[in-house]
Structure 1
């Protein structure tokens, strides 16, 4: 059964099984990162889920298509592994939101990407993937048998063609285990206060994380997503318009306890692959996030098995790493991606970003 609503000439909302499966396809990368962030930092998980729920609905209605709303993976990943505190994450989110709003308004998105260079952006993705993989191993060592069992489940489901669904299965098992341990939480509405988990702090680490994230966001969340809007949905949405909407999202959500969010080409492609064709998918997913926000009690999150969390981070890290290398076609770019990733792992992501940009410019001047 499908229910459709037409708003104007372009903006269709449909509520059907395919829109629901498309919505779930987008949650595969969001929920593991959100749960990991809630388990490893002082972030308020109900407020984070509230932010995702609201802005899934807002941008689904505004654009009339299943536009993705995802965590800013570089910043979230750095917070999960302890490189950024929550205060620094909040500051980086506000800084990133302000820059995205400004460059989108001035029409500078394409120019910003050309300055950085795609191999450098992909290298930052690889660095975050490696850091998440390192954190996943540390979490899994607490209970290796549970971690191995989780990996077996993921592997078996992947072999029969349900790789993305496997993440939701493992996440569900971990959630059930947490509820059994901590009990069923009572619904509670998150209080709307400014910075409920702490005030932002602008530090060198926050600035470095912001710069690294902006490189990824411009390339993947603005330019690549704008191209996919035309290819998949025949919609002419500019990268600068997407940049402005991401800026608004960060500036509105972070002060109220949310996390830095962006649009993503991977999430948009995932929604399309799983059947989403209208903004109805966003409305359905947004309602789901809002429902989770009501029961995201701290006791349940604290009881979530860390080894299962490690399995989820392995899957996210592998997907992020695959995406980093997927568009690379020549040896010079491959070396730059790998170099930025390794420097980011053993040293600092911000330093890796700067060194990678310098190397990109030097290599681009050579014949």
Structure 2
């Protein structure tokens, strides 16, 4: 059964089984990253979930389509592995939000993408994937049997064509184990306050992470997402409009305890693959995030099995790596992806991004 409403955008909203399953398709990578971030930093998970819930609904209504709202993976990944503190993550997100809002309003997204180059952006994705995989191993070594069992479940279900469901199943299993330890938490509304997890701190590491993230955001969250809006939903949405809405999201959510958020082509494709066709999927997912925020207590998070978290991060890292290499078609591009990725792993993601961008620009000028 489906229910339809007319939104303020060009498309109507539907609330049906396909919209619900499509909504779940977007949560496959979002929830594992948020749980991992909350387990490794001082971020308030309830406030983060509120931010995601609100902006899922806002952009679902504004665009009238199941536009993805995802964590900024480079910044979130750097925070999970300890390169950034939460205070630095918040500062980086605010800077990124300001830049995205400005370049979106000025119509500069296309120019930025041409300067940076897609292979460099994909290299940053690969670097973050490697860092997350390293963190996944560290989290799993304490209880390797649980990690192996979790990976086996994910692998078997993925082979059967249920890759998305496998991640949600493992995540649900970890949540059940945590509830069994702590008991069912009493619902609690997150307190409304400015920077509930602490004020932002601007540092060199935060700026380096911001530069690397903006490269990914321009290519994946703005340009690639705009193309997919046309390919999958026959909607003409400009990269600059997407950049503007991402800037607004970061600048509005982070002061209230949220984290850096963006749109994403992967999440949009995931929603489409799972059946979402309207902004109703966003509304359903947003309501789900808001409900989850009521019970995501610190005690519950502390009881979440770290080995299960390691499995989830491993899956996310492999998906990021796959996305990094999938569009690569030349040896030169492959060399850029591998080079930026390895330098980002053993050194610094921001430095790897800048060096890769400069080298790409120099080679581009020579050809």
Question: Equivalent residue of 1:329, what SS?
Answer: coil
Matching residue of 1:183 = 183
Question: Equivalent residue of 1:14, what SS?
Answer: strand
Q: Provide the aligned C-alpha RMSD in A.
A: 0.8
Query: Residues 119 and 328 of structure 2 are in contact (CA less than 8 Å); yes or no, is this contact kept in structure 1?
Result: yes
- For the pair 1:142 / 2:165, whether they are aligned, the reply is no
Matching residue of 2:271 = 271
Matching residue of 1:13 = 13
Q: Matched residues in 2 for 1:165 and 1:276: separation?
A: 16
Matching residue of 2:221 = 221
| Mapping 1:301-312, distance limit 5 Å | 301-312=301-312
Matching residue of 2:83 = 83
Matching residue of 1:151 = 151
Matching residue of 1:101 = 101
Matching residue of 1:354 = 354
State the number of aligned residues: 367
Q: Matched residues in 1 for 2:219 and 2:21: separation?
A: 27
Matching residue of 2:289 = 289
Q: Matched residues in 1 for 2:13 and 2:205: separation?
A: 42
Task: Report how far residue 164 of structure 1 moved.
Answer: 1.2
Question: Equivalent residue of 1:268, what SS?
Answer: helix
Question: Equivalent residue of 1:328, what SS?
Answer: coil
Question: Equivalent residue of 1:13, what SS?
Answer: strand
| Mapping 1:110-149, distance limit 5 Å | 110-149=110-149
- For the pair 1:209 / 2:182, whether they are aligned, the reply is no
Provide closer, same or farther for how the CA distance between residues 366 and 22 of structure 1 changes in structure 2, counting only shifts above 3 A.
same
Q: Runs of 5+ in structure 1 lacking a partner?
A: none
Q: TM-score, normalised by structure 1?
A: 0.99
Q: Runs of 5+ in structure 2 lacking a partner?
A: none
Q: Matched residues in 1 for 2:160 and 2:353: separation?
A: 38
Provide closer, same or farther for how the CA distance between residues 9 and 243 of structure 1 changes in structure 2, counting only shifts above 3 A.
closer
Task: Report how far residue 11 of structure 1 moved.
Answer: 2.1
Q: Matched residues in 2 for 1:108 and 1:139: separation?
A: 41
Task: Report how far residue 365 of structure 1 moved.
Answer: 3.0
Matching residue of 2:3 = 3
Task: Report how far residue 9 of structure 1 moved.
Answer: 7.6
Question: Equivalent residue of 2:196, what SS?
Answer: coil
Question: Equivalent residue of 2:198, what SS?
Answer: coil
- For the pair 1:53 / 2:53, whether they are aligned, the reply is yes
| Mapping 1:166-177, distance limit 5 Å | 166-177=166-177
Matching residue of 1:238 = 238
Matching residue of 2:258 = 258
Question: Equivalent residue of 2:161, what SS?
Answer: coil
Task: Report how far residue 6 of structure 1 moved.
Answer: 2.0
Task: Report how far residue 3 of structure 1 moved.
Answer: 0.5
1:49-96 CA distances to partner (integer Å, 9 max, x unpaired)? 000000000000000000000000000000000000000000000000
Question: Equivalent residue of 1:365, what SS?
Answer: helix
Matching residue of 1:322 = 322
